């Protein structure tokens, strides 16, 4: 009887290892496509890969729930040898994922329960869930369902929303004047519409009535006062001297 149970256990373990290997190969293939063939990868192909993985996992669940499969929960795994040295056979068996079977990694690989921190968090969540009354929980469920429904509605009708937003934008009045914009661009780029005024600075020789700028001070300005022209020196510039022997003329008045 014991030998029969051992044979059934070995057959179940071999079948489980084979199924898990299929899942691992499918995952490797899918990850390779995502990393190297993402430009040619289509959404139907992604869905096919997900469907393949889902089917393989369902097969493993059916295998574990089968009546002929012995209960793995009743089996106990005891480490017979722990060593800090590298084990080549173990590394080859685990594809270099577990090269050493030491006291440091055994609690993680042979753990049958979550970490103590995770268990404590689960207890806290259970206590908080128990504190909420049925009415409050029902209200929260209704609120969450409403939010999910609104989100799904927006995701299912994105085109209609975009079309309505585009139509609203087209119907709204523009916030700028195209004529003013074109005039501003023409003035900045081509000087269109600007008055032709000479900037201050030295003037090229050869133009009548205009001489070079005097060094050391600003140029003279000619203004008309009472029908006569008077030259006034700029701030800090030289003042024209008064001519002698000419009666009837005021100081500063030219002939």
Per-residue confidence (pLDDT) for residue 53, from 0 to 100: 93
Q: CA dihedral defined by 165, 169, 170, 174, rounded to 10 degrees?
A: 180
Per-residue confidence (pLDDT) for residue 146, from 0 to 100: 94
Per-residue confidence (pLDDT) for residue 83, from 0 to 100: 87
Q: Which of 92-96, 199-203, 215-219 has the lowest mean pLDDT?
A: 215-219
Residues 6 or more apart whose Cβ sits within 8 Å of residue 19: 56, 59, 60, 63
Instruction: Look up residue 4 and give its two tokens.
Output: 């029969």
Per-residue confidence (pLDDT) for residue 199, from 0 to 100: 58
Q: CA dihedral defined by 199, 204, 208, 210, rounded to 10 degrees?
A: 50
153-209 per-position pLDDT tens digit = 887 776 666 677 777 766 666 667 788 888 888 888 888 877 766 655 555 554 444
40-64 per-position pLDDT tens digit = 888 889 999 999 999 999 999 988 8
Sequence spans of domains, the chain: 1-75, 79-112, 115-168
What integer is the mean pLDDT of 107-128? 86
Q: Which of 59, 64, 68, 54 is nearest to 4 (CA)?
A: 68
Q: Which of 69, 73, 47 is nearest to 59 (CA)?
A: 69
- DSSP codes, 152-171: HHHHH-HHHHHHHHHHHHHH
Per-residue confidence (pLDDT) for residue 27, from 0 to 100: 93
Instruction: Look up residue 30 and give its two tokens.
Output: 């899918």
What is d(CA 189, CA 23) in angstroms, rounded to the nearest whole number? 66
Please identify which residue in the block is written with the tokens 């995770």.
118
Per-residue confidence (pLDDT) for residue 173, from 0 to 100: 62
Cα 205 versus chain centre, distance:
63
* Reported pTM: 0.41
What is d(CA 52, CA 25) in angstroms, rounded to the nearest whole number? 11
Q: Which fold has domain 1-75?
A: Methane Monooxygenase Hydroxylase; Chain G, domain 1 (1.20.58)
**pLDDT, greater one: 90 or 245:** 90
Q: Which of 109-123, 185-199, 241-255 has the lowest mean pLDDT?
A: 241-255
Per-residue confidence (pLDDT) for residue 208, from 0 to 100: 47
């Amino acid at each position: 009887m014991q030998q029969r149970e051992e044979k059934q256990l070995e057959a179940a373990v071999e079948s489980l290892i084979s199924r898990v290997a299929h899942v691992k190969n499918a995952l490797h293939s899918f990850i390779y496509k995502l990393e190297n063939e993402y430009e040619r990868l289509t959404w139907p192909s992604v869905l096919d890969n997900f469907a393949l993985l889902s089917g393989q996992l369902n097969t493993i669940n059916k295998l574990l729930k089968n009546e002929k499969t012995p209960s793995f929960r009743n089996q106990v795994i005891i480490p017979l040898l722990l060593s800090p040295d590298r084990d080549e056979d173990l590394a080859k068996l685990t594809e270099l994922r577990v090269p050493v079977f030491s006291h440091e990694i055994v609690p993680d690989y042979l753990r049958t329960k979550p970490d103590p921190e995770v268990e404590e968090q689960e207890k806290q969540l259970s206590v908080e869930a128990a504190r909420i009354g049925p009415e409050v929980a029902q209200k929260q469920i209704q609120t969450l369902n409403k939010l999910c429904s609104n989100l799904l509605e927006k995701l299912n009708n994105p085109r209609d929303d975009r079309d309505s937003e585009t139509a609203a934008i087209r119907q709204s009045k523009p916030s700028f004047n195209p004529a003013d914009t074109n005039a501003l661009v023409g003035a900045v780029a081509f000087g269109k519409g600007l008055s032709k005024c000479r900037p201050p600075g030295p003037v090229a020789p050869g133009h009548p009535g205009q001489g070079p700028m005097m060094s050391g001070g600003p140029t003279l300005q000619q203004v008309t006062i009472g029908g006569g022209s008077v030259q006034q020196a700029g701030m800090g510039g030289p003042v024209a001297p008064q001519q002698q022997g000419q009666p009837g003329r005021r100081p500063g008045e030219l002939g």
